[in-house]
Amino acid sequence: MSKLTYTQSAAANQAQLPDLPRQDQDIFDDFLIMKIIEQKRVQQFGNRSGANTNALGFAQRKELVRNLGVRIDAVRLAELDAVTEFLGCNKQEFVMELLVAGLEQTKSVAAKNGLGLLLSETIDRKVEEAGFSVEPSANKGFWTLHYKGQPLEHGAEQAKQG
């Protein structure tokens, strides 16, 4: 085979894989949407870790990360394995995102049906029983999560250990 130019080789490769997505307006739109979603997560959660923020931040303190121990059937596990492989994430990340979304959806539906206050009271009681409280933050107008009287700050935990 004779030597090909760059553009000839790109065309030859494309001919071998005609169904492969090509860099075009749609691909760039996908890139922009991905970046917008990333920024949205930063605005919503304060970082790119999303719903996994607490699990990652609390990892330094073993008593703050719990194993849910949910049993599922083998077919759902295979589907979960397939979905997480397809999305390029792990089960922890996927399930935490799903869990947080489900919790927020439950709060919304409870509120729409006049049970928001009852659910909030139950949540507040359970959070307090788990040893958590909220205190005014150094950032005026904001609140900081505390565990057994100590502020939970991911950076502060790392600084203490470093």
Residue 15 resides in a domain: no
Q: How many domains does the chain have?
A: 1
Q: Would you say the pTM of this structure is higher than 0.85?
A: no
Mean of the pLDDT values across residues 86-113? 92
Q: What is the torsion angle, in degrees rounded to the nearest 10, for the CA atoms of residue 115, residue 116, residue 121 and residue 126?
A: 100
Structure confidence by residue, pLDDT tens digits, 2-22: 788 988 888 888 888 878 766
Residues with Cβ within 8 Å of residue 84, at least 6 apart in sequence: 90, 91, 93, 94
Handedness of CA 47, 125, 100, 84 (dihedral sign): positive
Q: What is the pLDDT of residue 130?
A: 93
**Strands lying side by side in the sheet with 150-151:** 132-136, 143-147, 150-151
Q: 1 or 58: whose pLDDT is higher? A: 58
Residue 147 resides in a domain: yes
Q: What is the pLDDT of residue 31?
A: 83
145 bridge partner residues: 134
Residue 6 resides in a domain: no
Structure confidence by residue, pLDDT tens digits, 28-55: 888 889 889 888 888 877 777 777 777 7
Domain that holds residue 99: 51-161
